[in-house]
Chains A and B, each alone.
Chain A
Amino acid sequence: MFLDYAAVFAPFVAFLIAGLFGRIIGYRGCQLITCFGVILAAIASMRLFLDLSLGEFEPRTLPVLQWIKIGNFDVSWALRLDSLSIVMMNVITIVSSCVHVYSVGYMSEDPSKGRFMAYLSLFTFAMLMLVTADNLLQLFFGWEGVGLASYLLIGFWFEKNSANAAAVKAFIVNRVGDFGLSLGIIACFILFGSIQFDAIFSQAPAKATAVFNFLGYDVHALTLVCLLLFVGAVGKSAQLGLHTWLPDAMEGPTPVSALIHAATMVTAGVFLVARFSPVFEYAPDALMVVTVVGALTAIVAATIGMTQFDIKRVIAYSTMSQLGYMFFALGVSAYSAAMFHLVTHAFFKALLFLGAGSVIHAMHHEQDMRKMGGIWNKIPVTYVLMWIGSLALAGVPFFAGYYSKDLIIESAFADHTWFGNFAFWIGIVAALLTAFYSWRLIIMTFHGAPRWQHAHDDHHHAHTHHANDDHHHDHGHHEPHESPPVMLLPLVVLAIGALFSGAWLYNAFAGTPHHAPAGQHEISTTEHHGDVASASKDAHHKEMTRDRFFGNSLHILPENDTVAAAHNVPKWVKVLPIIMGAAGIFLAYVFFMWLPQLPALCVRIFAPIHNFFFRKWYFDELYDVLFVKTSFWLGKFFWQKGDQATIDGLGPDGISARTKDAAGVLSRFQSGFVYQYAFVMIIGVIVLISWIYWRQA
């Protein structure tokens, strides 16, 4: 019981202590208390996972405190523990623990490292509140809370103008998504009379034909609710349309990118849709929209990712693309496949980001891959870990990403709708691009001739001006150097996840009673690790299946069960993604290793297309004109032409001018002595009351 609460509140307590008493307990105290808090939460979460995978878990909701109650509107703070939230809690706390420990090393030179650790813990708490919510409003609290933490951490180096701009952009673009989410919450309340999950989910089938009048149109009620919620998911998970904040968010310190902008916060949208599977199942049009948006995001992000040079931005676009995969999996009702990819992705993407951080650390704060190269033997551990992460990302067999990504692609194929097919082919193409840009990154960063020696001197000068940068390194030697153990150890933990989590969890996320053996042969690998992999202990007494693992926390109509159908897809569908991945790796070697003049040639030949991709499809420019500039222009217009010229001009200023013109006598009253006005008013009131009194008498 205590541990259940600690799983959520330990990071919060740590945040309060580090935030309020940071100066008293010092840096070391802040680091210790926050790491302790989040590791405690991780242990408590793993305990729940253990119960769950042993089949000894009863879903439960722990009460905390009443929140808002007025009329029929009644919500409370509570912790809902079920399979879905426990999976999320484990992802969050494990990755967060790794990132906390890593940050101790990564931020060691930063004067504000206490504040940094406090923010990380605040984020962890908000994210845990989000996933353990038992109603939409608490989910919204977590949703905005992680947005706040993201804002604070992106803008952590607050003296950097670009960091501030990115932080504000992230917050406001997310607010646009929250605009949809909050309307969706309200629509839920009006439709279902409650925003408790249980009440909503139990009524959803009965409302399958309900119609709702929204903005004057009669629309299918469940589709409306789902789409409004999905707008929120699009914002938080950086899907096409509201994605522009994510690449800019890379302004934040690298551990932040790993934790928030890869592993956890950006997957909140996926979690939301999965959580609402009992409603989405009855809103096929909404599922169609989710699929199409997800598929388009997957491909658009991949095309941009191919062309970028900032190592973190490449990984950011890769994240966006992988989130696209998760969303189209949700759209074809393969909720467990999306959750599966969410888990494996959290491991390998956090690994890639922290690995990139280790590279940046080694390169004395250089992020441009054009200024790297030839460092693989200088930082061998990082190099190997980056390989593991990339292999998992590219979906190379038996790495984690292989299981989850293939399952998604197969499920899309098994959906047999036009959008399922669309998503399937996009998934295939994006798999090629994923492998291509991943090895582009590896080759440009680690191989070839070193391009950093002369470039670095310029950078060194620039660096001295940045008083508050990533870290102040001893610039006496310019050789790239391997990171300290406190940074490498968390990477190793994540690498274990990137290597084995796919095989461990396959049965729980994809196993169906008839086809469980599909993942059987990998089970042997689980013997290497016993930490999260308690699923394997279960194998001897009862087969773990998706239905058993998730219980009621996911709801799939039998005719929509694409994950089950995915086991029966033709052989070529299973093999094609692997071939595409291998082809992508091969192409990357051709382009960047064996024929290094080829990329420049391609850029010249396909200049317009390359430019279009490199400029990120011009989303930023378009939005700047459409929204940012327009808002400021309108604001100026309303202020100067509306308030000052029209309202004041016709109103008080105009009247006073006319009065002055008409009666010079009156102008003496406008003496500016407020006493006079006040005095006249009192006199007026007295006269009036006397008059009434006198008349009555």
Chain B
Amino acid sequence: MEGFPLLSLITFLPLIGAIALLFVRPSASRQLALFVSTLVFGLSVYLLLGFDKGDADFQFVENFKWLPSLNISYHLGVDGISIFFVVLSALLVPLCILASWNSIYMQVKEYMIAFLALETFMIGSFVALDAMLFYVFFEGVLIPMFLIIGIWGGKRRVYSAFKFFLYTLLGSVLMLIALLYMYGKAGTTDIPSLIATPFPREVQIWLWLAFFASFAVKMPMWPVHTWLPDAHVEAPTAGSVILAGILLKMGGYGFLRFSLPMFPEASEYFAPLVFALSIIAIIYTSLVALVQTDMKKLIAYSSVAHMGFVTMGIFTFNIEGISGALFQMISHGFISGALFLCVGVVYDRLHTRDLDRYGGLAKNMPVYATLFMIFMLGSVGLPGTSGFVGEFLSLLGAFKANTWVAFLAAIGVVLGAAYMLRLYRIVVFGEQKHADAAAMKDANKLEIFIFLPLLILVFWLGVSPAYVMERVEPTLQKLTTQVTAGQNLIPQRPSLAGVEGDIKER
């Protein structure tokens, strides 16, 4: 298969599918979209099987001149950081199409086109190895997402889309300027070349800030997170799944791909800032989640808190913290996706997201209650579920970097249980207060089928995360060496003072 452009195929097949959709009957659009996205998922699994777990470098590389005069190339490849995001995107899209099967009945064809285009942009931004190419994909994602929220969204979709737009615009403009500057200095936008280009410390600081503006909005980090709850609330279920599952991961991916390797000194310089914002995100948004009455808003705020663990882990610069952050992103990708699907199941039946309109669902929807329980526990980070592994490793990394950070972040673990159990108690337990909620039917076969792969992932990666860990470790080892070497520092600030030396004889 040497030379076969597998990555290009995976990236652009959805777009080809979207174009093909233009020429089919609207009634057949669901089937075609499902077929294409399933095919893409199959190819992504093939990609994963062919991925060499011992190799820290980029694999399946494709490199052609795109704009030769500008030295901008069409450069694709995957490494341990990006491979699982590709697979996750390819997994979630067909599930989203299935989840929209019956709940979307207006302009179905356009909806499917938007989703397939979205898939191309998402996968493209994870496999692009040229900063310009990355930028096009990265920003391109917004267009179909705008459409999905704006056309198939809820009542206040205009406000939400506007907010989304304003925030991301602010960030991406700054990132573009920084990219142009780097291009001027290095003469290329090739990511591996940029990583190899050392920038002076003062320059790094400005560039880091510009990239940070973009990635922090995408994460989203406190205080630029307020677009997320609104966007989630207005988006259709499948839109929320993609938003929480993939789009939020692009910020973290950006930190790992750009900020850390390209600006190691600035990253070191700003680590305390990131820690502070992460801690605020974890505690502040957990408390906010505790008082929400809208199911989607609650889960949206919980996502902000979970992403706080991610940013914290990334900026510990040690292998445990970074791998924890990466794992947390992957795990949050399908757990939060599943939680939004859980909301979607009852929303489709009752058309409200108000917690108090539900109650006692365990009685009439036992299968649903069980599924919801499992994903809720994954979100809470119960050991044995995938949510635990990432959360624990990020905490471990943070403890190495700074005990205060770990101490405060661990409070978030307690609060995380508080808001999720509150949600579950109000919706699923308790008395059946409303006749319409009590009359809802249990999850049907299609819904169970959609949850099944996510369910398997929660337990598989919770009990035996080795499959992921083995594949990300070489790349992350390389990254941490790069970063710490760039910082010209002793790898870790020793938090363990004088273990061997005796200070007090007891």
Contact = CB atoms under 8 A, between A and B. Distances in A.
Interface of A: 65-71, 73, 77, 137, 140-141, 143-145, 148, 151, 155, 158-159, 161, 164, 167-168, 171-172, 175-176, 178-179, 182-183, 186-187, 189-191, 207-216, 218, 220-221, 284, 631-632, 634-636, 638-639, 642-643, 647-648, 651-652, 655-656, 670, 672-675, 677-678, 681-682, 685, 688-689, 692-693, 696-697
Contacts of B503: 209, 211, 218
Nearest to B464: A65
24 contacts: A70-B469, A73-B393, A77-B463, A155-B425, A158-B429, A172-B421, A175-B417, A182-B395, A183-B407, A190-B399, A209-B502, A211-B504, A213-B495, A631-B290, A635-B288, A639-B288, A643-B226, A648-B226, A651-B167, A672-B162, A674-B147, A681-B139, A688-B176, A689-B132
Closest 5 CB pairs of A and B: A674-B150, A672-B158, A635-B291, A71-B319, A635-B287
Contacts of B429: 155, 158-159, 164
A69 B466 CA distance: 7
A652 B226 contact: yes
A670 B506 contact: no
Contacts of B166: 651-652, 655-656
Q: Is the interface of A mostly helix, strand, loop or mixed?
A: helix
Nearest to B466: A66
Nearest to B287: A635
Contact of B399 (A68, A187, A211): A187
Interface string B482-506: 0000000000000111111011111
Interface string B288-326: 111110000000000000000000000000111001000
A678 B146 contact: yes
Contact of B69 (A215, A635, A697): A697
A148 B382 contact: yes
Contacts of A693: 67, 69-70
Contact of B180 (A210, A647, A692): A692
Contact of B288 (A69, A643, A670): A643
B422 interface: yes
Contacts of B167: 651-652
B19 to A, nearest CB: 17
B353 interface: no
B37 to A, nearest CB: 22
Nearest to A637: B287
Interface string B373-409: 0000100001110000100110110011001101100
A607 B469 CA distance: 63
Contacts of A681: 139, 142-143, 169
B180 to A, nearest CB: 7
A186 B413 contact: no
Contact of A66 (B150, B395, B464): B464
A570 B504 CA distance: 37
A213 B497 contact: yes
Contact of A685 (B136, B291, B425, B506): B136
A635 B499 contact: no
A688 B499 CA distance: 57
Most buried by B among A151, A639, A647: A639
Interface string B153-174: 0000110011101110100000
Given A148-B377, A176-B414, A674-B150, 8 more contacts: A69-B469, A137-B383, A137-B392, A141-B383, A168-B422, A182-B410, A638-B285, A643-B226
Most buried by B among A71, A632, A647: A71
Contacts of A648: 226
B421 A186 contact: no
Contact of A161 (B288, B421, B431, B502): B431
Most buried by A among B150, B292, B429: B429
B504 A209 contact: yes
Interface of B: 67, 69-70, 132, 136, 139, 142-143, 146-147, 149-151, 157-158, 161-163, 165-167, 169, 176, 180, 223-224, 226-227, 284-285, 287-292, 318-320, 323, 360, 362-363, 377, 382-384, 389, 392-393, 395-396, 399-400, 403-404, 406-407, 410-411, 413-415, 417-418, 421-422, 425, 428-432, 463-466, 469-470, 473, 477, 495-500, 502-506
A135 to B, nearest CB: 12
B496 A168 contact: no
Contacts of B132: 689
Given A69-B466, A71-B320, A631-B415, A186 B404 contact: no
B396 to A, nearest CB: 5
Contacts of A213: 403, 495-497
Contacts of A682: 143
A161 B433 CA distance: 12
A171 B67 CA distance: 59
A647 B166 CA distance: 13
B404 A215 contact: yes
Most buried by B among A179, A677, A682, A685: A677
B183 to A, nearest CB: 8
Nearest to A285: B506
Nearest to B373: A152
A216 B291 CA distance: 33
A674 B414 contact: no
Contact of A144 (B143, B163, B383): B383
A73 B418 contact: no
A692 B151 CA distance: 34
A682 B136 CA distance: 10
Contact of A179 (B69, B285, B413, B506): B413
Most buried by B among A140, A151, A191, A631: A631
Contacts of B157: 674
Contacts of A176: 414
Contacts of B495: 190, 212-213
A158 B425 CA distance: 9
B290 A642 contact: no
A131 to B, nearest CB: 15
A73 B465 CA distance: 13
A211 B494 CA distance: 12
